Amino acid sequence: MSGANEKLDKLAGDYKAISDKYGEGLNGKIAIVTGSNTGLGYEIARALAACGVRVFVASRNLQKGEPAAKELAEKDTSKAQVEYMHLDLASLKSVRTFAEDFRKLGLPLHILVNNASSWMVPESMSPTEDGFEYQAASYYFGHVYLTELLKDKLESSAPARLLWTTSASETLGTINWDNIELTDRTSNFATYGTMKMYGQMVARVYAKQLKSKKVSVYMGQPGMSSTDFFNPEKFSWYKPDATLQWLLQKFIGLTSEQGAWPIIFNAVAPEDQLQSAETGLSMGPEYYDTGVLQMPNITNKGLIRYQEPQNDNIKDYSTCERLYEATIKLLQRKPVVHNGPKLGNVGS
């Protein structure tokens, strides 16, 4: 497949080159990128803005989101249109308000990037007001609700794309069908891996569900990239798995520009160069699979390629569908959702 094995370094971080090569046809399109005040989301928003896309920086913190949007608007081209909109994915109420505010703008939606996530948050943050473990709320339940509320927008704006930022930590995921909200677990690496696995599972379902509507769904993951995700200031140093991740990404990780490139590629490359999320494949940097951790190929940090899912739950489409249906039913029982627009095509 052409494109999939391009050297990252050729284009990662070179937003003019990305715009020159892939920007045609993107000018004036509308995108929402969650968690784009920093890290990979920031780079994804930057690439889209450089391609002439009007980008909404959807993030939970006004003090970080507004300056980031302003900076992005001025960064690469004076024509860039980047705006901040408040979205706390860990609150279903906030997700609903965000979707309602976006709809009030009367704009189409061509690209939705489900990117934001939290990692190893303090135990005091769980359960959330809606009864979810915090990481699961912020990456999984929040994004599923957001997608459900904006799905018709994507459909009516087609051709459109729905992107998920995934993670190699899906290998750690396990399902307890009696507690998919994960409140029976601590907010550790395995719980993070579980909710990232959930994301890949529903991305497969959305890809199949939306195919006939000309909404393409793609998954991309950054390997191990140097962002604030592993910033030790957010953790206690006694957490050994956090410390290990921090050290690894500092010494052998990719830059945030390199890490964002697989997801940017999913946003800008022609469809014939991409593999639908329905396949379970996720675009990402080349890495060595040690059986426990997937380590970026430090001898050649430049390659991206499709990666097969490692987790049996992702591989089995019927399990993916079961999770989607269980998730929609769970969401429908939450008061904010119950009293809001009807969700999906799953009965309550």
Ligand X SMILES: NC(=O)c1ccc[n+]([C@@H]2O[C@H](COP(=O)([O-])OP(=O)(O)OC[C@H]3O[C@@H](n4cnc5c(N)ncnc54)[C@H](OP(=O)(O)O)[C@@H]3O)[C@@H](O)[C@H]2O)c1
E strands of 39-170, at which residues?
Answer: 54-59, 81-86, 111-114, 160-165
Q: Phi and psi for 175 in degrees, rounded to 5?
A: -115, 130
Q: Which residue is nearest to ligand X (CB)?
A: 39
The Cα–Cα gap between 273 and 287 comes to: 21
Does 224 bind ligand X (CB under 6 A)? Our answer is yes
| Token reading at 68 | 């980031």
Site for ligand X in 8-27 (CB under 6 A): none
Half-sphere exposure of 147 (CA within 13 A, CB side): 30
Nearest to 137 by CA among 180, 173, 190: 180
Subset of 166-195 contacting ligand X (CB under 6 A): 167
Catalytic residue chosen out of the listed positions 22, 84, 145, 192: 192
Q: Which of 19, 117, 209, 276 binds ligand X (CB under 6 A)?
A: 117
Question: CA torsion sign, 26 to 31 to 37 to 40?
Answer: negative
What's the burial of 176, exposed, middle or buried (CB within 10 Å: 0-12/13-18/19+)?
Answer: exposed
Confirm or reject binding of residue 165 to ligand X (CB under 6 A).
yes
How many alpha carbons fall within 13 Å on the CB side of residue 231? 8
Judged by CB under 6 A, the stretch of 45-53, 155-163, 224-232, 329-337 that binds ligand X is 224-232
Positive or negative, the CA dihedral 15, 288, 282, 112 is: negative
133 binds ligand X (CB under 6 A): no
From candidates 12, 30, 40, 320, binder to ligand X by CB under 6 A: 40
Is 238 part of the annotated catalytic residue set?
Answer: no
Please give the Cα distance from 179 to 175 (Å, whole number).
8
Nearer to ligand X, 52 or 56 (CB): 56
List the one residue from 84, 102, 229, 324 that touches ligand X (CB under 6 A): 229
Q: Under rule CB under 6 A, which residues in 284-343 are in contact with ligand X?
A: none
Binding mask 76-115 for ligand X (x = CB under 6 A): -----------xxxx------------------------x
Q: Does residue 257 bind ligand X (CB under 6 A)?
A: no
Q: Which residues are catalytic?
A: 192
Residues of this chain that bind ligand X (CB under 6 A): 34-35, 37-41, 59-61, 64, 87-90, 115-118, 138-139, 165, 167, 221-222, 224-225, 227-229, 249, 259
